[in-house]
Structure 1
């Protein structure tokens, strides 16, 4: 190789090394303030691990304005406490973006010392004007920690997530920035009053999620908010509980409603005109052998008002157990029209389809229908052919059955019902079980030969 060529090779290699070095150091060129914002996306355990990257990174984690920890991340209680105290001591005059603590008082941790620590730490982060506070007690619902009233006057707070704690009765509430509240199996020192007061005195609250405990003793829950956009209410049912609980929602700007509830008997929605999407999975406390009684006039009125309240939604997710209650109700009163409904997903426990055609009659502008399934145990199917066939709306264009079909009788009747009664259907998507996916299978050929009312309908088999 001549001298000129050697020079060209060395120059090319030098430029290549320079590019690699420059590209490799791009993140190191960022200012500390921006790097800390990036590290906020990680858990504290992951952030601390970055200290081994270089000398510059060795102390960077101390300046990240947030903590996200579980006490299980530490070998013992003292190490855990020492780390949190040390972290909160760093930059103690600066504001905290988030404080997320998941802890478990059971096992090797003594509950009493932990209670005092949680209170002290929450007070500290409130003093440091925390924006996002998340305290999750994983101690099997001990509710040992009573939150201090200072939580009601944290004016910097934007989101609040609490689990298995106890909220005190608020004497004064000043939460001008709080937009998100998530409360899971909480207790309240004076039943519903503490919760209702908290909700009503958050002027910019947009999202509220409540997961009820079995013994919260709130018989009537009132949710009143002029700013609320999203409300989720979750409560598991039990055949040991015979309750007549009521939830009243008065939120004129509410756009999204989710009910996953086995306990509450009455849902009352006031001012529902802004509601766009609903996810409904409730039996209105008509489970565990209890049946809808047509002679129960208050129940009928409640169901009528509830259906009218959600009838303006454009997007609906509904469970088959809710559809069963609606089906029973429809035998004594006509259903309201869901004129705006364009997209619906039905979550079925099994192939209990009889109630579906009845409800579809009330959806004249439905365009997309997805039929999913849940992981709950199978229930006995109902023959959808027991009543007269109903031609589906011409607006229905797309149907998908997500549950893998095995070729059972009820499945085939459902597919036949859709194809033979849909005038405007463009596409039916089916998911087949692996056992019948072969094109030569009898079930596969039968699916493709079912008559179709819509000549332009395409059947897609996944």
Structure 2
């Protein structure tokens, strides 16, 4: 080995020793705070650094159990089981985030029950569960946990049967709820599904790609709810009835297939809509327009350029009577490039209106070359939205990035 290579190895070794010594000067509480930013697998590995580090990870009040880096589901779940059994049982578990990727494998019911039982027995406050499985059942004990303040559920059964969210639950401390790929079912009395009415401290609710069975109506009834976020990528048609007198912010991403009906949104001030349409149907543009009519008193509206284009698909939109948005103070438009799927939608719509084969051929060519549509903002759409609030501040935000996609939990 050359002298230069030997010197480099010595310098690297000395650098590792210096780094380790600097960490040794830190208190245990500071080191534990640093370990909280690591996946549990990396945090556990620090036990080999020295005798001082051997048991530090066992004192962590929060665990991030993600399957990243594990080759099989069995290896990962064995690690999860060992981590929970070796952890110091006297330390309350404030947060547990469990995520089993589809590529790693399917979760067994016994492992899920073990994780949930451990979390609840250690006074869990924030619990996240994201996994693929062969079953569609959530342990009932989750929905009677007295300490939970934040619950995130994203469950993907392999056989396609969505997991049912209970009709009611006893979660007196819950303030944040995030649900993905679940189903809501109407009660035996045939009334609308109303699963959130018993959550007396709920402040923030996210519903992503969920469905409604039975009456086709989901009633979001909450006197305390402040923030509501909806994500939708699929053709899930149902009605949302809002009984939310404290609601301040509403945000939506995806294709608008859900009608808003009987809405109690008197306190709603801020609305964000990032709509998308892959296959054009009549419903999404009309539903989007009806949403804006349901929000008459909002003060700020943020939309994407694609959202405005979808609205513009409504025939003779600019001639429709539009009494809403009279209190609008701010209108922000995010100038995002159209997705390829939406450009295809626009092309199909315009081709249906073409009067000759020559006009159709020219349309296909201009779309293929990226020359159509000529502008992100349709002519007249801004004046249409601002007709009842001409003094509202308007901002165009340049978003030089890929089109916005629905956010997963």
TM-score calculated relative to the size of structure 1: 0.62
Question: For each residue in 1:391-448, what CA deviation from the matched residue of structure 2 results, as whole angstroms up to 9, or x when unmatched?
Answer: xxxxxxxxxxxxxxxxxxxxxxxxxxxxxxxxxxxxxxxxxxxxxxxxxxxxxxxxxx
Say whether 1:258 aligns with 2:283: no
Q: Determine which structure has greater relative contact order: mean sequence separation of CA pairs < 8 Å that are 6+ residues apart, divided by chain length.
A: 2
Shift of residue 103, structure 1, vs aligned partner: 1.0
| Aligned partners of 1:159 and 1:181 also within 8 Å | yes
| Aligned partners of 1:170 and 1:197 also within 8 Å | no
Instruction: Classify 1:153/1:276 alpha carbon distance in 2 versus 1 (closer, same or farther; 3 Å).
Output: same
Shift of residue 44, structure 1, vs aligned partner: 1.1
Instruction: Classify 1:57/1:263 alpha carbon distance in 2 versus 1 (closer, same or farther; 3 Å).
Output: same
For 1:357-368, list aligned pairs within 5 A: 357-368=383-394
| Aligned partners of 2:95 and 2:125 also within 8 Å | yes
Say whether 1:70 aligns with 2:69: no
Instruction: Classify 1:276/1:81 alpha carbon distance in 2 versus 1 (closer, same or farther; 3 Å).
Output: same
TM-score calculated relative to the size of structure 2: 0.70
Say whether 1:317 aligns with 2:312: no
Instruction: Specify the alignment match of 1:117 in structure 2.
Output: 111
Count of matched residue pairs: 340
Instruction: Specify the alignment match of 1:149 in structure 2.
Output: 140
| Aligned partners of 1:164 and 1:187 also within 8 Å | no
Instruction: Classify 1:340/1:334 alpha carbon distance in 2 versus 1 (closer, same or farther; 3 Å).
Output: closer
Instruction: Specify the alignment match of 1:98 in structure 2.
Output: 95
Partners of 1:76 and 1:22 lie apart in 2 by 33
Instruction: Specify the alignment match of 2:229 in structure 1.
Output: 232
Partners of 2:100 and 2:278 lie apart in 1 by 37
Question: For each residue in 1:258-306, what CA deviation from the matched residue of structure 2 results, as whole angstroms up to 9, or x when unmatched?
Answer: 12242525223633232222112448x996242799xxxxx79x95674
Partners of 1:22 and 1:40 lie apart in 2 by 19
Q: Secondary structure at the match of 1:160?
A: strand
| Aligned partners of 1:167 and 1:189 also within 8 Å | no
Instruction: Specify the alignment match of 1:47 in structure 2.
Output: 43
Structure 2: 5+ residue stretches without partners:
1-17, 157-161, 339-372, 405-409
Instruction: Specify the alignment match of 1:58 in structure 2.
Output: 54
Structure 1: 5+ residue stretches without partners:
1-20, 294-298, 378-462
CA RMSD of aligned residues (A): 3.9
Match of 2:395 among 369, 374, 393: 369
| Aligned partners of 1:277 and 1:314 also within 8 Å | yes
Partners of 1:286 and 1:59 lie apart in 2 by 53
Match of 2:329 among 321, 341, 346: 341
Q: Secondary structure at the match of 2:396?
A: strand
Question: For each residue in 1:89-122, what CA deviation from the matched residue of structure 2 results, as whole angstroms up to 9, or x when unmatched?
Answer: 2223432111111114666x4x4x7222112211
Instruction: Specify the alignment match of 2:353 in structure 1.
Output: none
Between structure 1 and structure 2, the one with the greater Rg is 1
Instruction: Classify 1:206/1:337 alpha carbon distance in 2 versus 1 (closer, same or farther; 3 Å).
Output: closer
| Aligned partners of 1:339 and 1:365 also within 8 Å | no
| Aligned partners of 1:168 and 1:190 also within 8 Å | no
